[in-house]
Amino acid sequence: HRSHMVQTESQYLYLHQCVRDVLRARKLRSEQEDLVYPM
């Protein structure tokens, strides 16, 4: 097995949650910018 791969389900779920939070924050920030700077 490769040591840098995710080992357990809990690690996978944690990584997935982190990615989802980052994407959500990025989406919220872009929506706020649209309100501040309407095109």
- The span from the CA of 11 to the CA of 4, in Å, is 12
Flag whether 1 is in a domain. Answer: no
Residue span of the structural domain in which 15 resides:
7-39
Flag whether 12 is in a domain. Answer: yes
Q: Provide the domain count of the chain.
A: 1
Flag whether 2 is in a domain. Answer: no
Mean pLDDT of the chain: 84
Mean pLDDT, rounded, for 8-34: 91
pLDDT of residue 16: 95
pLDDT of residue 9: 92
Q: Provide the pLDDT confidence category of residue 2 given band limits of 50, 70 and 90.
A: low
Flag whether 21 is in a domain. Answer: yes
pTM summary value: 0.57
Flag whether 31 is in a domain. Answer: yes
Flag whether 36 is in a domain. Answer: yes
